[in-house]
Amino acid sequence: MKFVTTRACAHTLGLMQEVRMNEGSVLDALLEGLVVASEAEMVAVTSDGADDESLLPIAAMLENIRLLLNMDVAFVGSFIDGQRVFTHLASEAELPVGPGFSVPLEETYCQRVIDGRLPPVIPDSSLLPAARDLQATREFGIASYLTAPVILKDGTVYGTVCCLSHVPRPFLSAKELSALQTVADFVSASVEGAGAIECIDALPA
């Protein structure tokens, strides 16, 4: 996995403006240094290490939110046929999983947050038995976790945007969750917009 630069397109900037109108200064902070004009370069993450120029603004926003919240991993997971499938991923270090990797939805934090079995903000998983005892906690070394749902206009839960850290993050609160929800809202707008789909590609498996 490596960082590459890509350029924002008009569809992407339009979506950012749309979300900004609803989210205000939270999105401004999230996008600071990321997009300043239609010709601005964006930092994005690809999984194959190729020096391509594919447009990956969702991945770029994931990297920004990961850094902004001081977390180790940020990802978008879509819910498909009972599976949670990684579509975009930003990580501080190499991971054994990447875009295209899937696990049964029932085994994930994501599903448990959506159905209420887990809270969306978990500063320390060791203090919450419902999280501490999950296999995913051990397998991925999850010590803290944030989850924001990606909900489409018709109410369908497309998936989630999540951040995790390998150490407890006592500072995590509703404020950080609100920032992550901004990214989830952008993902939702991207999925809904046919024009956006053309310029926002899922990361290659």
- pTM > 0.85: no
State the DSSP code for 199.
H
Query: Residue 111: what are its φ and ψ, rounded to 5°?
Result: -65, -40
| Structure confidence at residue 14 (pLDDT) | 46
| Structure confidence at residue 17 (pLDDT) | 45
- Rounded Cα distance between 127 and 199, Å, is 42
Structure tokens at 112: 């448990």
pLDDT in tens, the chain (205 residues): 333 333 333 344 444 444 444 444 445 555 444 432 222 333 333 333 333 333 357 888 898 999 999 999 999 999 998 989 888 888 877 666 667 778 899 999 999 999 999 999 999 999 999 999 999 999 889 999 999 999 999 999 999 999 999 999 999 999 999 999 999 998 998 888 733 333 333 333 3
Structure tokens at 110: 């994501």
Give, rounded to a whole angstrom, the gap between the first and last alpha carbons of the chain. 11
| Structure confidence at residue 96 (pLDDT) | 62
- Rounded Cα distance between 205 and 201, Å, is 12
| Structure confidence at residue 90 (pLDDT) | 87
| Structure confidence at residue 89 (pLDDT) | 85
| Structure confidence at residue 74 (pLDDT) | 93
Structure tokens at 201: 């590609």
Contact 55, 11 (CB under 8 A): no
- Rounded Cα distance between 25 and 27, Å, is 5
